[in-house]
Amino acid sequence: MTDLALLSSVQTWLYREADLLDYREYDEWLKLLHPDVRYFVPIVRNVPRTATTEFTTEGKDLAWMDEGMTIITKRVNQLKTNIHWAEEPPSRVSHLVTNTWIPECEGEPGSRRVTASSRIFVYQNRIDDEQNFFVGKRKDVLVESEGSWLLLHRTVHLDQSVMLAKALTVFL
């Protein structure tokens, strides 16, 4: 049987996280990240069903994002300069997080480590009629910390090979 409390706690965490991003409370959002966090959004290629080369490799190849706390913090700080033109005036962004379930959970209560599988649809709209749709799969590794969760690792498999947006200035 599913651990209802666990599942609910993870889902709520993800929804609160999305709120912080969408309401632009970036400093609060940073607090949800583990110091060793890795944010990984590989490039995907059109290759045969049987190939193993569909995604670029973490820590080795190019990726839309493959970074830790240092760069993530710089992104936030850049937004906070108020002159990061690609986000100034700011985009309107909604993170829709769906399908969250927990394929893996290990460790004792208090120090658990869970893997959460989700889908995301991130909608970005800016200025007059610019709009972008980012849809894909998310796998998050969360570790328990003082009654809540910290994001240790996030993989987003964006369902686009050629990115159909002029820039990626939102966290996926």
Asked if residue 152 binds other proteins (CB under 8 A), the reply is no
Whichever of 73 and 160 has its CB closer to a second copy, that residue is 160
Which of a second copy, other proteins, none is residue 109 near (CB under 5 to 8 Å by kind)?
A: none
Q: Which tokens in the block code for residue 41?
A: 């959004």
Residue showing tokens 């998050």: 140
Asked if residue 77 binds a second copy (CB under 8 A), the reply is no
Q: Please give the full DSSP string across 101-127, using - where no structure is assigned.
A: EEEEEES-TTS-EEEEEEEEEEEEEET
Residues 76-135 binding other proteins (CB under 8 A) are 77-78, 81, 83-89, 127, 129-130
Asked if residue 85 binds a second copy (CB under 8 A), the reply is no
Total residues binding other proteins (CB under 8 A): 45
Residue 29 to residue 23: CA distance in whole angstroms: 10
Which of a second copy, other proteins, none is residue 65 near (CB under 5 to 8 Å by kind)?
A: other proteins
Measured CA angle at 23 (ends 92, 58), to 5 deg: 80
